[in-house]
Structure 1
Amino acid sequence: MNDVHIRTAAADEAQTILAFWKEAAEGTSITDDVEGLTRLIERDPEALILAESDGALVGSVIAGYDGWRCSLYRLAVLPSRRRRGISTALLEAAEERFLAVGGRRGDAMVLEANERAQGAWAAAGYRREDHWRRWVKPFA
């Protein structure tokens, strides 16, 4: 883990991040495009946290804060680098960010079928709340 550096993303890295997610993340979103990712970074420059090693992207998490909720998305680690503490470091950085802005609780979006991700979130101290369901309406 000593060779991993945690930092925030820059807008000009959108293509690299999208390619990384295709390899390391499960599922897709309607916002998985350069425009959506660039808009996120420009609106909230500290939201997208990256882990890199020897100049290569090895992990990510989106730590979005809207003044009310602390939302976590896209926790992903390169398959060849999993189980080495990278997701722990990313979540620590996200939680530090949330605490600094007065956040009280982190909410993670986790795919129902992704059991490996569910185990990782549980190991990090997060728990599933079955009494909530996500409701969505695409605008386009």
Structure 2
Amino acid sequence: MSDLRIRAALPGDLDTVLAFWKDAAEGTSISDDRDGVARLVARDPEALLLAELDGELVGTVIAGFDGWRCHLYRLAVHPGRRRRGVGSALLAAAEERFVRLGGRRGDAMVLRRNETAHHAWRAAGYSPEEEWRRWVKPLGS
């Protein structure tokens, strides 16, 4: 996918992202609303990463860093674009961001019932920590 473009979301992207998540993300969250996503983009303008192919939104990931830990949320790829490297490209961009900011380990919150996501996270090098219900990966090593 040489035409794949990864970029930070802009305030004008929010409605498109929310609509995308309804189709591409497994489950929803209490913060999956315009105000919640707008707060994220205002607080950390580089945290919400978008993958675009020919101008179409095909994937997202939130790469949040609080100065201590790196958190990954909302890795979502359009169902018709899965298994083509979109998720891997998004995770690589998120991990590069974390390393640039001094992060040392990525944590991903993944629904237990989302077996498809478990395979994707494992393929990306993350391991489940059952005690915490999160997936982790050391960064920058």
* TM category, shorter: over 0.9
State the identity %.
67
RMSD: 1.0
Match of 1:47 in 2: 47
CA distance in structure 2 between the partners assigned to 1:28 and 1:11 by the alignment: 20
In structure 2, the residue matched to 1:129 is 129
Q: How does 1:72-83 map to 2 (within 5 A)?
A: 72-83=72-83
Unaligned runs of 5+ in 1: 135-140
Distance 1:130 1:34 in 2: 32
Aligned counterpart, 1:138: none
Normalised to the residue count of structure 1, the TM-score between the two structures is 0.93
- Give the superposition deviation at 1:104: 0.5
Q: After the TM superposition, list the runs of 4 or more consecutive aligned residues in structure 1 that deviate by more than 3 angstroms.
A: none
Q: Residues of 2 paired with 1:131 and 1:80: CA distance?
A: 33
Equivalent position amino acid for 1:45 in 2 = P
Please say if residues 18 and 32 of structure 2, whose CA atoms lie closer than 8 Å, have aligned partners that are also in contact. Answer: yes
Deviation at 1:132, TM superposition (A): 1.9
- Structure 2, gaps ≥5 residues long: 135-141
CA drift at 1:31: 0.5
Higher strand share: 2
Q: What is the TM-score when the length of structure 2 is the normalising length?
A: 0.93
The residue aligned with 2:137 is: none
* Alpha-carbon distance in 2 for matches of 1:62, 1:119: 19
